[in-house]
């Protein structure tokens, strides 16, 4: 039976959690990683709908596998498979799907679309990526940080995270994590490509924007980057290559970070643009651990929203 509207809870941004919930979710994700495929199945007889307007590898597969390992079924719904692709109002689709499914995992463009889906859906709605936010990825990233720097890395003073590149949905979600957890966040973005100013204001005193990647990365524990042109920005790719020249995570830039610093990238990567092959494949890279951790973070999130843990 679908969750009733009075019981449902959505996850559209990192700040839909409070500090203690976020830390507990990361801890639970680590537990799921240890349990592997043989863990409990708290979501038996549940079904998760994946409503994806954007292409996906890691997000789709990790959610499908997470649902399966938790005992739930999953259904993939692309625009060509549903009436959304033929103009049915989001509110109508949300209300109908809520009568069949127990959770909607939505990957779309404008953030207002997922907000409307959540407003009318009677079951939990999860943001699997919008142009404004990518909270599920940051859950996996935070798990990766604790694996590399200890289970208390997110709570003890001194953690410094650097972001190099576009002030995009990933940068916004890192800002929200900074708001909740209080670590130091340095963002290196070209002029005109800063993250959400409202989020920057909320993280005042902890987050700072630089125009120099070298300044932003100095002394960082974590160096994070993403493609210069995201899905839907392909027509801007050439202009962005010019504007982002020098915003590349390479060996000389990593030499500015701490000797034990790790590199994160949500993938797919454009090797030779925002990150070099040398760094992506090097000893400081945690990129493929980070990708695997999408699965474990998704399991913890679905468990929280559907089983109440």
pLDDT tens-digit map of 223-260: 999 999 876 667 788 899 999 999 999 999 999 999 99
Given a cut of 70, is residue 66 above it in pLDDT? yes
Task: Give the structural domain span for 140.
Answer: 134-288
Q: What is the pLDDT of residue 3?
A: 43
Give residue 2's pLDDT band: very low, low, confident or very high (50, 70, 90). Answer: very low
> Stretch 47-64: mean pLDDT, rounded?
96
Q: Which residue has the higher pLDDT, 229 or 42?
A: 42
pTM across the whole model: 0.95
Given a cut of 80, is residue 282 above it in pLDDT? yes
Catalytic residue set: 107, 134, 137, 226, 266, 294
Same domain, yes or no: 257 and 161? yes
- Is 57 annotated in a binding site? The answer is yes
Same domain, yes or no: 55 and 70? yes
> Stretch 26-42: mean pLDDT, rounded?
96
- Is 58 annotated in a binding site? The answer is yes
Least trusted range by pLDDT, from 30-44, 74-88, 167-181: 74-88
Same domain, yes or no: 138 and 126? no
- What is the tally of structural domains in the chain? 2
Same domain, yes or no: 76 and 201? no
Same domain, yes or no: 126 and 138? no
Same domain, yes or no: 27 and 116? yes
- Is 221 annotated in a binding site? The answer is no
Q: Are 25 and 301 in contact (CB under 8 A)?
A: yes
154: CATH: 3.40.50.1370
- 273 within domain boundaries: yes
Residues 6+ apart with CB under 8 A from 153: 145, 146, 159, 221
Q: Residue 120 in 3-state DSSP?
A: helix
User: Dihedral, CA atoms, 166, 203, 134, 5, nearest 10 degrees?
Assistant: -150
């Amino acid at each position: 039976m679908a969750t009733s509207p009075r019981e449902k809870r959505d996850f559209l941004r990192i700040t839909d959690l409070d500090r203690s919930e976020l830390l507990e979710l990361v801890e639970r994700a680590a537990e799921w990683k240890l349990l592997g495929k043989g863990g409990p199945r708290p979501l038996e007889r549940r079904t998760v709908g994946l409503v994806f307007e954007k292409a996906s590898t890691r997000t789709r597969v990790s959610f499908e596998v997470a649902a399966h390992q938790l005992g739930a079924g999953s259904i993939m719904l692309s625009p060509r498979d549903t009436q959304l692709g033929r103009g049915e109002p989001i509110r109508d689709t949300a209300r109908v799907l809520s009568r069949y499914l127990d959770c909607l995992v939505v990957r779309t463009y404008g953030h207002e679309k997922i907000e409307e889906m959540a407003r009318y859906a009677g079951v939990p709605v999860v943001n699997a990526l919008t142009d404004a936010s990518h909270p599920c990825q940051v859950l996996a990233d935070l798990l990766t940080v604790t694996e590399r720097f200890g289970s208390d890395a997110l709570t003890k003073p001194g953690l410094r995270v650097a972001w190099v590149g576009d002030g995009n949905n990933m940068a916004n979600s890192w800002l929200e994590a900074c708001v909740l957890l209080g670590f130091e966040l340095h963002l290196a973005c070209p002029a005109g490509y800063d993250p959400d100013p409202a989020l920057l204001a909320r993280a005042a005193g902890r987050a700072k924007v630089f125009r120099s990647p070298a300044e932003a990365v100095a002394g960082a524990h974590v160096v994070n980057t993403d493609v210069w042109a995201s899905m839907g920005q392909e027509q801007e790719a050439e202009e962005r290559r010019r504007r982002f020249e020098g915003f590349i995570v390479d060996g000389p830039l990593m030499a500015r970070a701490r000797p034990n610093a790790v590199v994160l990238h949500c993938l797919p990567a454009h090797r030779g643009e925002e990150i070099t092959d040398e760094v992506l494949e090097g000893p400081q890279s945690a990129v493929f651990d980070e990708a695997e951790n999408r699965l474990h973070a998704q399991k913890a999130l679905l468990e929280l929203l559907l089983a109440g843990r």
